[in-house]
Amino acid sequence: MSTTSSSCQPHKIIGVAVIWNQHQQILIDRRLPQGVMGGLWEFPGGKIEPGETIEECIKREIKEELAIEIAVGEHLITIDHTYTHLRVTLMVYHCRLIMGIPQTIGCDEICWVDLDDLEKFTFPEANSQIIAALRREVRN
């Protein structure tokens, strides 16, 4: 058995929302300073629960974390990424704000940003693939 085997690492399946407003801006949030990837910016989302569809997961997480209603639309990308002590599968969907003003319930800060400004924020490593996919879509 290889000592580099990753089979013992925890694996999280995460529903991730790229939420658009009517000004073509995207909602990002800053993770709490403590804990895994503390202080980094992310697209809101969280772990899928047993029996839930990915769409249900994303809607629930966004309601719990930000107290807003969204519509979940097209799939953007699915990313499998291995961090030092954790493997994540990020299932990323385009979403649209339906109702409410985002509240900082489960995060430190919230920001609506233009796609071109995303690079000014520090995200977890796996997110560079999400941002690249967004750029590709917008260019085409």
Ligand X SMILES: Nc1nc2c([nH]c(=O)n2[C@H]2C[C@H](O)[C@@H](COP(=O)(O)OP(=O)(O)OP(=O)(O)O)O2)c(=O)[nH]1
Which listed option, Mg ion, ligand X, none, makes contact with residue 17 (CB within 5 to 8 Å by class)? none
- DSSP secondary structure code for residue 117 in this structure: G
Cβ-based nearer residue to Mg ion, 46 or 102: 46
* Contacts with ligand X, 116-135, as mask; x by CB under 6 A: --------x-xx--------
Within a 10 A sphere around the Cβ of 94, how many other Cβ atoms? 17
- Mark the segment that binds Mg ion (CB under 5 A) among 16-24, 38-46, 67-75, 113-121: 38-46
Does residue 12 interact with ligand X by CB under 6 A? Answer: yes
Find residue 94's DSSP bridge partners: 18
Closest CA to 37 of 75, 88, 72: 88
Residue 129 tokens, joined:
């693939």
Burial class of residue 132, CB neighbours in 10 A (0-12, 13-18, 19+): exposed
Does residue 47 interact with ligand X by CB under 6 A? Answer: yes
Does residue 15 interact with Mg ion by CB under 5 A? Answer: no
Q: What is the C-alpha separation between 94 and 69, in angstroms, rounded?
A: 14
Q: Which of 36, 71, 98, 105 binds ligand X (CB under 6 A)?
A: 36
Min dist. Cβ of residue 15 to ligand X (A): 8
Q: What is the C-alpha separation between 108 and 136, in angstroms, rounded?
A: 29
Catalog residues that contact Mg ion under the rule CB under 5 A: 46
Binding site for ligand X (CB under 6 A): 12, 14, 16, 36-37, 42-47, 86, 88, 90, 124, 126-127
